Structure 1
């Protein structure tokens, strides 16, 4: 809409401002790609090849599987062929930007003089390949010389997506690379189901008013929050604030469920169950982290309590209760919360809880904002 208005505008300075400083692309539920994450479709190369990548605020690097590939997992879309793009360029290992990525211990002879990256995730999955430059297309915006990983070796627990788009605060992330263009501001609204579409927006022009902002806390490459409590329907549960503040909290679009400290989870789970006594409990899925499931097959309407997060600066954000539920079948709908295993106490606010909320990352002002009903 902004692009159309800009092109129709007779004011050239207004046109330049809108087209230069804002972009928006759809976000889809990843179920058709057999993933519980959310995907954005972007364009790589010249001519443009559209690829669907996981939207991940916990990743430092954007990468996609590249042809010719040595070890690649099966993906839905054709692999990106760097040899057929006129704007693709490798990076020498002596280039200063090569410091943005980690060079793995083993590098193939063909990459001895080139910048070669290796990235490993918490579940053991990894991607290695050429750290390169390419033209990235976001809607109608072209980002020339975009730094990304052209992955030629991938191993681990990947689904059918073409790779990952990294939105961390590190130098190789898309947020930092487009800082001059979009002022280190982006937001997203994750859709509630496969039948709905959300959005990913860059820049501040399309942000809603009345956003509830809370302070961003530095947690290395992750986005940290000053969480001090959790509750239902605006009522804070009786859990010591230190349970949350000592290990800290992060919000991560690349983590599916929400994980609470072991000392907090039982209190929250029991309160949630008490509010849901109208619906019969169902057995959890074997091997799953989720232990609170319901059979909603006979319910004509379902009322789920709002989940409230309490922050140190006094802000309270209410998340729709239904967004906290993960639907497997009509007879098995589970609360998308789980306790950390012993020894891991950090709270992670996962992507299922983000659904239908406009989540704003104003990195320049070091704050994160929330706005309800940003999408369906």
Structure 2
């Protein structure tokens, strides 16, 4: 869920954690389903849910704690939750976090080293409170920045606490969020991201996750690992060097082309490729490709599938054949995709392509196309690793 309005601050310090230094976390990822109308969610291993197309992390906020279910998003940095009093909040099923009832909530002052403003526009109020304004393609959140005690529970049942995590207390929130999504937890490369804040206390700013396919039984969960032990290793691992782009949040790669079977569809038919033209974004379900590239790719997909599509779409009732696609990245890195990653099985039994064309020069690889890969992100070494995995069996 890549931001369109960037956060007007940069963190200059990292919260200390009560976790054992260097000890990683393993959290459960829970999958929840998003209706078609809503498709627009360490080592720390904690619970993650997929919300049909979004994956949700469960985290305890405050003292006494409120359980927050936040969309896991590698395309943004800020962790925020809906927060009372609400100027404008979308409907939420579970109780909204109330900072007035927490003994560990502390708003940040504009003079705080953790509230370092950049860019244009006022981010501080007349009361000297550090404000934030963060936007996405599908919505936005505004409120105040604060520190709060956070806690995550691992698969083993052990709870790890972090006493002063900076987060956004969102009083004005809108977009395509549904009633089960209580906020968003950013896992981008920026200093304010959750993994950047707790990483040094759990063995490093790195994490791995395994996202389940769209049609998986929602009662089945897989794992998010943060810090020590989250490394993706062993036979079959493909590692790519991330590209440093102007936006410090993104996990960016240079996509050179996509093969359908043995037929190569180049990223561009004219001009040099822009470095870092593709980002990995767990907060967006679909893969988004420049329209010109998508048009050529779609034609090739139709040519390779033996059955006829439904109407004028890339949806099929059955018989996708043995379609294999490959993402080609700069540095001779090739990521082979099966129909599990390229087609979602819909409730009516049909299969629909997981990519679409957009008016943009850059591409975005969404969470559907990353299904059944164990993906490891290493911020300090600027690498991302992929390993083909049955994510329903990751414990």
TM-score band w.r.t. shorter chain: 0.7 to 0.9
1:107–1:292 Cα change, 3 Å: same
In 1, Cα distance between the equivalents of 2:267 and 2:337? Answer: 21
1:242–1:217 Cα change, 3 Å: farther
- Of 8, 28, 45, which aligns to 1:26? 28
Residues 147-199 of structure 1: CA deviation (Å, up to 9, x unaligned) = 00011111232222000001111121112212312311011111122243122
What is the match of residue 182 of structure 2? 162
In 2, Cα distance between the equivalents of 1:368 and 1:260? Answer: 20
Query: Which consecutive unaligned segments of at least 5 residues does structure 1 have?
Result: 1-15, 285-290
Q: Is the 8 A contact 1:229 1:236 kept in 2?
A: no
Q: Is the 8 A contact 1:100 1:172 kept in 2?
A: no
- So what's the TM-score if we normalise by structure 1? 0.83
- Of 39, 42, 55, which aligns to 2:56? 39
1:19–1:180 Cα change, 3 Å: closer
State the SS of the aligned residue for 1:26.
strand
Aligned-residue RMSD, C-alpha = 2.6
Q: Which runs of structure 2 are paired with 1:1-376 in the superposition (5 Å)?
A: 20-31=22-33, 36-99=53-116, 105=122, 112-123=127-138, 125-139=139-153, 140-160=159-179, 161-181=181-201, 182-192=203-213, 193=216, 194-210=218-234, 211-219=237-245, 220=247, 221-233=249-261, 235=262, 237-239=264-266, 245-246=273-274, 248-277=277-306, 279-283=307-311, 291-296=313-318, 303-330=321-348, 332-341=350-359, 344-376=360-392
Q: Is the 8 A contact 1:102 1:119 kept in 2?
A: no
Cα distance, 1:32 vs structure 2: 6.3
Cα distance, 1:18 vs structure 2: 7.5
In 2, Cα distance between the equivalents of 1:17 and 1:119? Answer: 29
Greater relative CO (CA pairs within 8 A, separation 6+): 2
Q: Is the 8 A contact 2:268 2:293 kept in 1?
A: no
Query: Which consecutive unaligned segments of at least 5 residues does structure 2 have?
Result: 1-17, 39-50, 154-158
Bigger Rg, which one? 1
1:223–1:368 Cα change, 3 Å: same
- So what's the TM-score if we normalise by structure 2? 0.79
1:264–1:60 Cα change, 3 Å: same
In 2, Cα distance between the equivalents of 1:18 and 1:273? Answer: 53
